[in-house]
Amino acid sequence: MPNLAPSAPLRHTRGVILDLDKFIAKERFFWEELAALLGRQDAQPDRRQTLEEAKRFYYLYQRTSSDLVKLNTFAGEAETTRFLERLVARSYSRLHEDGGEKVPFRPWQWFTRTFPATFRRHWISFALSIGTFCIGAGFGAGALKLNYDSKADFIPPQFGHLNEKPSKRVEREEKKDFDAFQGRHEFSAQLMTHNTKVTIMTMVTGFLWGVFTLILLFYNGTLIGVVIYDYLADGQGVFLSAWLLPHGSFELPAIFMGGQAGLIIAHTMFGWGTNLRLRQRFARIRGDLLTLVGGAGLMLIWAGIVESFLSQYHDPQFYPWKIGFGAVQLLGLILYLSLCGRRSARERTPTL
Amino acid sequence: MLGTTTTLKVRTPEGVTFEIPLASPFSRCLALAIDVAIVFALAMLLSQVIKILSITTSGIPVLGRLFADFGTGAAIVLQFAVATGYGMATEWLWSGRTVGKRMMKLRVIDERGLSLGLKQVIIRNLFRLIDMLPSTFYLLGGFSCLVTARCQRLGDIAAGTLVIREVEAGPPALGELIGADRNSFASLPHLEARLRQRTTPEEARLVLDAVTRRNELDPESRLELFARLAGHFREIAEFPEEITIGLSDEQYVRNVVETLFRRASV
């Protein structure tokens, strides 16, 4: 509490303290009108204001702002000040909201230009992501070659079925009659959600300066390396290709994209080559992150569908078709990401 | 640093400055607990619906097997979608508020005081996965909330957002508040003029705040505060005993406020 001792110097203040009651009585109709306009905008966020409404809204905002300044300067009444601050804050937020958000989303443009162009813009991060994964795969394969008994140590509990000797599994799977059910859809759904979590996690852990992104990529690479080596060493390369290629040709690139987004975040955290503040740096990459994670999400959904309806059917007569499908899909993805949405030389040349 | 900032101060291009109170980590925790309970309930509801459909259709040859397998797969995907999409959908549809935040009177806004954008909503909810760590204990997000000046979890930093307290306030009816019709000082305008002349704006602000917020004080503090304020204003301008007799300290101060704010001219 401030010193209220009588010895404190007193100032003559005639004519400075506002007639608060009269002031409120005169202005409250404008405040209420502004509050009603804001309420209507909250209730119908997509409704476009007419020019007259927008002009009136701006006038009321300016008038209320001016009232707030007067009140702060001359009166200092807490409750009305709080009310006006709230009103001005809401109006300010409405007036200055990001117009870019209102631009309608164009899926075709996003698919044919935005996504592949964003991917290419950050190709170094993608290369780092895939590189780390491959080093992990090499490590897993090498470790299994040196000590086959360590296989169980690499396989996490949720993938316990991979502990089985590959040739035994292949024999069992190939003898099975075709059945559209047998819990395959449930298993595929589990994999789809798991892979989506891994992709998002690989991205968001970039916030910890990319360390955990690299660890996750390396770890997942190790797991794949162990499985690939295990099947190849057991002479089951064709089965492995027919099993993994149809969905893996989309699933793994999606995880690499998660890593790519994570490394973009890591680069933003370090702030190399810029003197912008962290929040400004994040504002710059937000759109790219969403584009990459959105694209990866779509790829994972497709991979989940393929895994559910194609990858899990192990009839040897379909192997060439499955491998062909996976290879074509992978080639298509490479071409799409490398070429789609490139601007022609004429588009790139600035015109006067 | 330790989360010491309690308000977001915004200066508009028009030169107006206003403050928005930030949410405390505790109220955010409570809102989160409510939201987690809702997501859990929705997930349970979904699995029960699928289970009932599965039982109902078990006798039908193809449909029964379809629900037993495809239905369970769909339930897993839907539960994941609910857990991930609940925060995104509610914050986007209700301008930065989930059910928990509505109940706790909190709202997510842009850190410049602007409305929340869709990109920000998605980013802050995706980053929840890292804020939850380790496991689902929210230690990383909680720690970040405690050490950042504006109580931001990692998702808030990445998305450029803040969680604020919603302050519902209406223009007060000042006459009713200070009891204009009961002011015994009004019969002595020369003394009222002296009181206004000798009161500083800071004192006026203080005494008005004390009256408007008097119900927030506990009884003992309220008595003590109004006794000190009344004593101070008695020294500034002494009103004769015949009009102050029987007046409590609080009523004396309310009369002072009424005199300062209702009768003065701009």
Of the candidates A186, A32, A337, A38, which has an alpha carbon nearest to the alpha carbon of residue B68? A186
Q: Inform me whether the C-beta atom of residue A31 falls under 8 Å from chain B C-beta atoms.
A: yes
For residue B177, name the pLDDT band (cuts at 50, 70, 90). low
Our CA-based measurement puts residue B1 at a distance from the nearest CA of chain A, in whole angstroms, of: 17
Residue among B73, B95, B170 minimizing CB distance to A83: B170
Q: Inform me whether the C-beta atom of residue A88 falls under 8 Å from chain B C-beta atoms.
A: yes
| B17: chain A residues, CB-CB within 8 Å | 72
Percent of chain B scoring above 90 in pLDDT: 26
Q: Inform me whether the C-beta atom of residue A301 falls under 8 Å from chain B C-beta atoms.
A: no
For residue A14, name the pLDDT band (cuts at 50, 70, 90). very low
| Mutation target among B76, B118, B206 for the A interface, most CBs of A within 10 A | B76
In A, minimum Cα distance to B13 occurs at A92
For residue B188, name the pLDDT band (cuts at 50, 70, 90). confident
Instruction: Give the Cα separation of B221 and B216 in Å (integer).
Output: 10
Residue B170 has what pLDDT? 62
Query: Has this prediction a pTM greater than 0.90?
Result: no
Average pLDDT over every residue of B153-182: 75
Q: What is the pLDDT of residues A253-309, one digit of tens each?
A: 999 999 999 999 999 999 988 889 988 999 999 999 999 999 999 999 899 888 878
Residue A56: CB atoms within 10 A of its CB come to 15
For residue A5, name the pLDDT band (cuts at 50, 70, 90). very low
Strand partners, B178: none
Binary contact (A181, B262; C-beta < 8 A) = no
Residue A11 has what pLDDT? 39
Domain extent listing, chain A: 20-102, 107-342
Of the candidates B32, B25, B21, which has an alpha carbon nearest to the alpha carbon of residue B125? B32
Q: Which of A30-39, A76-85, A146-155, A256-265 has the lowest mean pLDDT?
A: A76-85
The answer on pLDDT for B149 being more than 80 is: yes
Q: Inform me whether the C-beta atom of residue A282 falls under 8 Å from chain B C-beta atoms.
A: yes
The answer on pLDDT for B255 being more than 90 is: no
* Helix residue ranges per DSSP H, A16-122: 20-43, 51-70, 78-95, 107-109, 115-121
As a residue count, chain A comes to 352
Distance of CA A65 to the CA centre of its chain: 37
Q: Inform me whether the C-beta atom of residue B3 falls under 8 Å from chain A C-beta atoms.
A: no
Binary contact (A19, B262; C-beta < 8 A) = yes
Mean pLDDT of chain A: 84
Q: B134 with B150: CB under 8 angstroms? A: no
In A, minimum Cα distance to B68 occurs at A183
Binary contact (A18, B261; C-beta < 8 A) = yes
For residue B249, name the pLDDT band (cuts at 50, 70, 90). confident
| Mutation target among B7, B105, B174 for the A interface, most CBs of A within 10 A | B174
Q: What is the pLDDT of residues B191-231, one digit of tens each?
A: 888 888 888 878 887 888 888 777 778 888 888 898 999 88
Binary contact (A197, B129; C-beta < 8 A) = yes
Average pLDDT over every residue of B69-84: 83
Q: A273 with A336: CB under 8 angstroms? A: no
Average pLDDT over every residue of A324-351: 82
Buried b (16+ CB within 10 A) or exposed e, A256-286: bbbbbbbbbbbbbbeeeeeeeeeeebbbebb
| B201: chain A residues, CB-CB within 8 Å | 11, 13, 16-17, 74, 76
Residue B70: CB atoms within 10 A of its CB come to 18
Residue B127: CB atoms within 10 A of its CB come to 24
Our CA-based measurement puts residue B160 at a distance from the nearest CA of chain A, in whole angstroms, of: 6
Residue among B117, B129, B265 minimizing CB distance to A101: B117
| A190: chain B residues, CB-CB within 8 Å | 73, 76
Percent of chain B scoring above 70 in pLDDT: 90
The answer on pLDDT for B182 being more than 80 is: no
In B, minimum Cα distance to A62 occurs at B14
Q: Which residue has the tokens 């009222």?
A: B192
Q: Which of A217-221, A315-319, B85-89, B156-160 has the lowest mean pLDDT?
A: A315-319
Instruction: Give the Cα separation of A51 and A215 in Å (integer).
Output: 55
Our CA-based measurement puts residue B246 at a distance from the nearest CA of chain A, in whole angstroms, of: 24
The answer on pLDDT for A42 being more than 70 is: yes
| Mutation target among B77, B168, B196 for the A interface, most CBs of A within 10 A | B77
Binary contact (A2, B169; C-beta < 8 A) = no
| A69: chain B residues, CB-CB within 8 Å | 15-16
Residue among A6, A18, A186 minimizing CB distance to B266: A18
Our CA-based measurement puts residue B243 at a distance from the nearest CA of chain A, in whole angstroms, of: 23
For residue A348, name the pLDDT band (cuts at 50, 70, 90). low
Average pLDDT over every residue of A105-115: 91
Instruction: Give the Cα separation of A339 and A332 in Å (integer).
Output: 10
Residue A1 has what pLDDT? 39
Binary contact (B262, A183; C-beta < 8 A) = no
ipTM: 0.80
The answer on pLDDT for B4 being more than 80 is: no
Percent of chain A scoring above 90 in pLDDT: 45
Higher-pLDDT residue of A135, B209: A135
| B73: chain A residues, CB-CB within 8 Å | 185-190, 308
Residue A176: left (phi > 0), alpha (psi -120 to 50), or beta? beta
Residue B41: CB atoms within 10 A of its CB come to 10
Higher-pLDDT residue of A314, A351: A314
Residue A102 has what pLDDT? 57
169-198 in chain A: CB under 8 A from chain B: 181-190, 192-193, 196-197
Q: Inform me whether the C-beta atom of residue A204 falls under 8 Å from chain B C-beta atoms.
A: yes
The answer on pLDDT for A154 being more than 90 is: no
